[in-house]
Amino acid sequence: MNSSQLFDNIVKKRSFLCVGLDTETEKIPEFLKNRRDPIFEFNKKIIDATVEYAVAYKPNVAFYESAGPAGWTALEKTVKYIRKEYPDLFIIADAKRGDIGNTSKMYAKEFFENMAFDAVTVAPYMGEDSVTPFLSYNDKWAILLVLTSNKGAGDFQYHNEDGIMLFERVLTVSQKWGNNNNIMYVVGATRAEMLKDIRQIAPDHFLLVPGVGAQGGSLKEVSKYGLNNRCGLLVNSSRGIIFADNSGNFDKAAGEKARELQQEMEVYLSERKLI
Amino acid sequence: MNSSQLFDNIVKKRSFLCVGLDTETEKIPEFLKNRRDPIFEFNKKIIDATVEYAVAYKPNVAFYESAGPAGWTALEKTVKYIRKEYPDLFIIADAKRGDIGNTSKMYAKEFFENMAFDAVTVAPYMGEDSVTPFLSYNDKWAILLVLTSNKGAGDFQYHNEDGIMLFERVLTVSQKWGNNNNIMYVVGATRAEMLKDIRQIAPDHFLLVPGVGAQGGSLKEVSKYGLNNRCGLLVNSSRGIIFADNSGNFDKAAGEKARELQQEMEVYLSERKLI
């Protein structure tokens, strides 16, 4: 999917919501646990209940890997299900990969060819040749970690050379490797005030913003500093949506949480005259 | 495995060789490709042929992931095989993971509990809480990327704040999170001259050194600057060993390459009076 198609979907759904499918086996409602593939069954119901309000889905690969080969199968089935039922959704493998060139190439093959993801999150520490293998596919994306939402973000991301912080260098240098049709950036919602600075360096790129909800970030702040004239934001919520309730109504509760976020997003999109 | 046991094995085998199991399906000898599990069959033969000369094995997870659920099964079988047949080997998941705390915890669970790896390579970009979940297991290790062997290493790892480069900051800061019995560091052999500097900051830690062989690093240089009084090195060779030959004798050729490296290592260990 290219950025125009993504923007069209945002306008159509009046939403820039990404639903994080961080499906922890232990947290799946009890009545689903004796099904043949509880992870997939859970995801399917979550997707069906939230799809009206979301433009993107983001399984965090860790939660599937930790369930072994069955977890991988559930991940593959989830991607296939979305592709078949809702072909206009943007699907992100939150994998935070990054390795020497020939190895990153294997990861790109896995996520883009074997599974039909649109994008993969990539850790930038190893530099150019660890990222470029993800940029050689048409309409596929690398989403680089820039400023993350966790506490440890401060340990290295602010390392400051002559007034340029590491995360700013990642933004600047990586723009030489690709463009705003194959690179996005991860910026945690818990650093919303930094979005102003980031929009100076990368005015046109899409930003993937995790940390709204369970991690405490504010959608209002993120939208204020992050929206550009093609929206330019995908705001993710994971636990706040998918584990809103663990009864037989978990999917309805998830849909309700997604709808709340969508309605707030609609206000901000409308204020900016994007819809 | 703790560092004393690892050192004992190094002394016993007169080797600090790690064999990288970067098993690309396409490069497996033809006659193995119609077996039920070609990746595992290949690994098994490589391990049997090289185990006399090696103390550690390091599957790069990318190569297994890219083969889908069957790849994961092959990885699990490989680890189980090593654990059963050669219990004193050190097994590293070269996964370069790293995510927010609750997610890194899932990766740690996968590699340390579900599969019995001794160590996981971790990308440090997200800081402390992305690393500490790997440090809470007895006799298990996080191996942090510090200075990598690829071309892109220069893009961010040398980012310089008041004379402290990013890779040096990773070395210094991370030592507060753990100790030399649960943290190792990745330092590419192609940066052997930097090992002198690294040994100033981390004199006692084990260093995992990839890049000897196909990537052009020199074992002599690495040993000169990297060896400490408990060896402190695991030097990895992947393609140079496992794909030395693709005939019916591929395993013998691999064994021969591993033996050459072991014999050179024996000289350096002996010069330092470590054996």
Three-state secondary structure readout of chain B: CCHHHHHHHHHHHCCCEEEEECCCHHHCCHHHCCCCCHHHHHHHHHHHHHHHHCCEEEEEHHHHHCCHHHHHHHHHHHHHHHHHHCCCCEEEEEEEECCCHHHHHHHHHHHHHHCCCCEEEECCCCCHHHHHHHHCCCCCEEEEEEECCCCCHHHHCCCEECCEEHHHHHHHHHCCCCCCCCEEEEECHHHHHHHHHHHHHCCCCCEEECCECCCCECHHHHHHHHCECCECEEEEECHHHHCCCCCCCHHHHHHHHHHHHHHHHHHHHHHCCCC
Q: A109, A156, A190, A209: best mutation site toward chain B, by most B Cβ within 10 Å?
A: A156
- Shortest distance between the Cα of A107 and any Cα of chain B, in A, equals 6
Average pLDDT for residues A166-178, to the nearest whole number? 98
Residues of B in contact with A159 (CB under 8 A): 159, 161, 166, 169
| C-beta atoms of B156 and A127 within 8 A | yes
| C-beta atoms of B170 and A156 within 8 A | yes
Q: Specify whether the CB–CB gap between B192 and A162 falls below 8 A.
A: no
Contacts of residue B111, defined as CB under 8 A and 6 or more positions apart, other chains included, come to B93, B95, B117, B120
Amino acid identity, position B10: I
Looking only at the bridges linking them, the beta strands covering A207-209 and A183-187 are: parallel
Strand, coil or helix: what is A22?
coil
A191 pLDDT band, cuts 50/70/90, is: confident
- Shortest distance between the Cα of B54 and any Cα of chain A, in A, equals 23
pLDDT of residue B191: 79
pTM equals 0.96
A62 pLDDT band, cuts 50/70/90, is: very high
Task: Please give the CATH topology (third level) of the domain spanning B3-271.
Answer: TIM Barrel (3.20.20)
The chain-wide mean pLDDT, for chain A, equals 95
Nearest by CB: A127 against B96, B97, B154: B154
| C-beta atoms of A156 and B166 within 8 A | yes
A216 pLDDT band, cuts 50/70/90, is: confident
Residues of B in contact with A131 (CB under 8 A): 152
pLDDT of residue B50: 98
Compute the distance between CA of residue B98 and CA of residue B124 in angstroms, rounded to an integer: 7
| C-beta atoms of B152 and A173 within 8 A | no
Taking only the tens of pLDDT, chain B with its 275 residues reads: 999 999 999 999 999 999 999 999 999 999 999 999 999 999 999 999 999 999 999 999 999 998 888 899 999 999 999 999 999 999 999 999 999 999 999 999 999 999 999 999 999 999 999 999 999 999 999 999 999 989 999 999 999 999 999 999 999 999 999 999 999 999 998 878 899 999 999 999 999 999 887 677 899 999 999 999 999 999 999 999 999 999 999 999 999 999 999 999 999 999 999 99
**What architecture does CATH give domain A3-165+177-271?**
Alpha-Beta Barrel (3.20)
Nearest by CB: A72 against B72, B124, B159: B72
Point out the residues of B that are catalytic: 96
Average pLDDT for residues A133-138, to the nearest whole number? 97
Compute the distance between CA of residue B149 and CA of residue B52 in angstroms, rounded to an integer: 27
Structure tokens that stand for B176 in this block: 């507060």
ipTM of the complex: 0.94
Residues of B in contact with A79 (CB under 8 A): none
Q: Quote the percentage of chain A above a pLDDT of 70.
A: 99
Structure tokens that stand for A224 in this block: 């204020």
pLDDT of residue B226: 97
Give the domain ranges of chain B: 3-271
Residues of B in contact with A107 (CB under 8 A): 62, 65-66
Compute the distance between CA of residue B31 and CA of residue A118 in angstroms, rounded to an integer: 36
Q: Quote the percentage of chain B above a pLDDT of 70.
A: 99
Compute the distance between CA of residue B213 and CA of residue B62 in angstroms, rounded to an integer: 20
A68 pLDDT band, cuts 50/70/90, is: confident
| C-beta atoms of B148 and A161 within 8 A | no
Residues of A in contact with B26 (CB under 8 A): none
| C-beta atoms of A62 and B127 within 8 A | no
- Shortest distance between the Cα of B12 and any Cα of chain A, in A, equals 32
Can you give the C-alpha Rg of chain B in angstroms? Answer: 18
Average pLDDT for residues A36-56, to the nearest whole number? 97
Contacts of residue A96, defined as CB under 8 A and 6 or more positions apart, other chains included, come to A121, A122, A123, A145, B97, B98, B99, B123, B126
Compute the distance between CA of residue A235 and CA of residue A242 in angstroms, rounded to an integer: 15
Q: Is B151 exposed, middle or buried (0-12, 13-18, 19+ CB in 10 A)?
A: middle
| C-beta atoms of B100 and A126 within 8 A | no
pLDDT greater than 80 at residue A215 = no
Q: Is A44 exposed, middle or buried (0-12, 13-18, 19+ CB in 10 A)?
A: middle
- Shortest distance between the Cα of B223 and any Cα of chain A, in A, equals 23
Compute the distance between CA of residue B249 and CA of residue B239 in angstroms, rounded to an integer: 16
Tell me: the pLDDT tens digits for A225-250?
A: 999 999 999 999 999 999 999 999 99
Element containing residue A41 per DSSP (H, E): helix A38-50
Compute the distance between CA of residue B117 and CA of residue B59 in angstroms, rounded to an integer: 10
Compute the distance between CA of residue A104 and CA of residue A123 in angstroms, rounded to an integer: 11
Q: Is B163 exposed, middle or buried (0-12, 13-18, 19+ CB in 10 A)?
A: exposed
Largest CA distance in chain B: 57
C-alpha dihedral sign at A182, A74, B73, B132: positive
Q: Specify whether the CB–CB gap between B123 and B163 falls below 8 A.
A: no
pLDDT of residue B217: 80
